[in-house]
Amino acid sequence: MSLLVDGEAVEVIDNGDTLLGVLRDQLGRMGVKDGCSPQGQCGCCTVLIDGQPRVACVTPARRARGKEITTIEGLDPTRSDRWAQSFCDTGASQCGFCTPGIVLRLDALERRWSNDDEPNRRGDAQSGDERAAVNQALLAHLCRCTGWQTIHEAWDAFRSDDSGLDTHRDLADASARAQLEGGQAQQVEPSVALGFGGFAADAAPEGALIAVADGADGWVVGQSVHEARMLAGKVQGRRTTAEHTWPLEVPEGSWDATLRTTWVEPAYLETDASWCEPGGQPSTPLANGGAFGGKVASPLPAVAKRLAEEHGQPVLALASREDAVRFGPKRPPVAGGVNADGSGIIRVVNTPGIADAIALVAPGIEVETVAVPGPLTSAAIRGAGWVEALVLLAGAIGTTEITTPAGATAEATVSEAGISVRVSCGRVLDAVTLRSYCIGAAHMAWSWLTSEALMVDDEGEVHDLTVRSFGVLRAVDTPHIDVVIDAADDREPVNGSDAVFAAVAAAGWLSVDCPQDWPTNRS
């Protein structure tokens, strides 16, 4: 089958695969990412077909015959370089997994906006409101890291021809700050926004076998992702129509504040992946960021190593989105009551290390761990346990000033104008990066408080298996977030975004009079 990809006529095998599969597996276009295939919901695989953005994971490759396909690698270098610089200058890309697709969609939108002869710009662009137009475009995407606001700022930077908002940044310092915030080595440079952050699924040796889960605790190996998934014969899981529940009850007693949370998905966009050569060590699934603690105990490296030894060839083990939901750890649900004097009881789904995490910030709270059927939980998830304890205490006392175990402090306020945060976390190192992580943490906290939940049945099986069912807030639903950084704090730098995460969760909860059950806006 002949296709026109990035201006070049190419011949590919017509095996019934999607355009995503053909572009990655046959043509090596690794800028096209797979974050949910074949759900068509995250936008990471977005390409341009005849100049219009399309999600490649649900587009049959055959349907693209005779059309001009543009990937991030084939975008006009002048424009892609400007987008990359704009995203880097504004902190609009952290891990860089979702941003190649976002860049392509914004590029198509920007071309329409720059065309004065086109009277009817699509969507909200007709109103002349650029922010509304960008929000409309971003409805096709999911970003967990940035909180959306910096993506708007990257759009503004590109539109203003501002090629460098801060030409004096030290990107080594920026990477050091990113590592503190993400808990994992991370690059900060323009190319990251274009998807070149060293993701495991992009870096496997040529000719590596592909291993995918078969849905029955086994793994199927094929020559390509398409072949392996066909051999597995697994039916893609969907979103349930059932409502989420709360697995724990608040302890009896007279409390100044009570809180009950449910199962929450970390929702990192790059699903688990690891490759290994026979006799070698497997690659880390933590490629360019920490996945909010969700990949600390990923089983994929062990799978890749075992299968590489069995087959005598390099093997790339890949998790689908539903695999990541089923075997990936969740934020452990809690149910607690506390008093203003710091005493209280928190019940939490049995999770190793969670009692110690709570004791770090709330030694007066008794912790009861409870065995409940459900998915794996982990104390490594961002602030698990100790954030809930501090939020409960904030509700009992009526304060939103938070100090983390690492020694960072943050205070937040929530109003009709949006969310305002002040943070102090030692030497700033790089203000753009720190601000980006704080905006992302504020978005994550607000999303957790208001809308995030998974339906888990009485047997412990997760039923919400699509990225749109996690409840992550869209750009259009996200309040404006203002971050003020204490530049006078000259202590050794520590993580600051976790403090913002806790402070915004507390401030948001107080702003709606501390209802017991989270999420607050989702039935």
Rounded to the nearest integer, the mean pLDDT of the chain is 94
Q: Taking a C-beta distance cutoff of 8 angstroms, is the pair 325, 407 a contact?
A: no
Q: Taking a C-beta distance cutoff of 8 angstroms, is the pair 407, 470 a contact?
A: no
- 348 CA to centre of own chain: 24
Q: Which helix (H) or strand (E) segment is 221 a member of?
A: strand 219-222
- pLDDT exceeds cutoff 60 at 365: yes
All domains of the chain in start order, with CATH: 2-196 (3.10.20.30), 202-235+272-319 (no CATH), 334-511 (3.30.365)
Token look-up 């399309």 returns 54
pLDDT of residue 241: 86
- pLDDT exceeds cutoff 60 at 150: yes
- pLDDT exceeds cutoff 80 at 279: yes
Task: Tell me the residue type at 504.
Answer: V
383-405 pLDDT per residue, tens? 999 999 999 999 999 999 999 99
pLDDT of residue 117: 45
How many Cβ atoms from other residues are within 10 Å of residue 253's Cβ?
Answer: 12
Q: What is the mean pLDDT of residues 369-389?
A: 97
pLDDT of residue 167: 56
How many Cβ atoms from other residues are within 10 Å of residue 391's Cβ?
Answer: 32
Enumerate long-range contacts of 276-283, CB under 8 Å, 24 or more apart. 276/301, 276/304, 276/305, 276/307, 276/308, 276/314, 276/315, 277/205, 277/308, 277/314, 278/308, 278/309, 278/311, 278/312, 278/313, 278/314, 279/309, 280/305, 280/308, 281/305, 282/308, 283/200, 283/203, 283/204
Token look-up 């975008």 returns 75
Q: What is the mean pLDDT of residues 146-157?
A: 96
What is the C-alpha to C-alpha distance for residues 126 and 128, in angstroms, rounded to an integer?
5
DSSP 3-state percent helix, strand, coil across the chain (nearest 5): 35, 15, 50
Among 29-43, 138-152, 161-175, the least confident range: 161-175
Instruction: Show the tokens assigned to 337.
Output: 């009551």
- pLDDT exceeds cutoff 90 at 324: yes
pLDDT of residue 129: 85
- pLDDT exceeds cutoff 50 at 125: no
Percent of the chain residues topping a pLDDT of 90: 89
pLDDT of residue 115: 82
Per-residue CA distances from 330 to 21, 294, 302 (Å): 29, 8, 20
pLDDT band, very low/low/confident/very high, at 163 (cuts 50, 70, 90): low
Residue 70, strand partner residues:
48
- pLDDT exceeds cutoff 80 at 166: no
What is the C-alpha to C-alpha distance for residues 507 and 442, in angstroms, rounded to an integer?
10
What is the C-alpha to C-alpha distance for residues 480 and 96, in angstroms, rounded to an integer?
22
Q: Taking a C-beta distance cutoff of 8 angstroms, is the pair 85, 190 a contact?
A: yes
pLDDT band, very low/low/confident/very high, at 432 (cuts 50, 70, 90): very high
pLDDT of residue 165: 56
328-337 pLDDT per residue, tens? 999 999 999 9
196-222 pLDDT per residue, tens? 989 999 999 999 999 999 988 899 999
pTM (predicted TM-score): 0.95
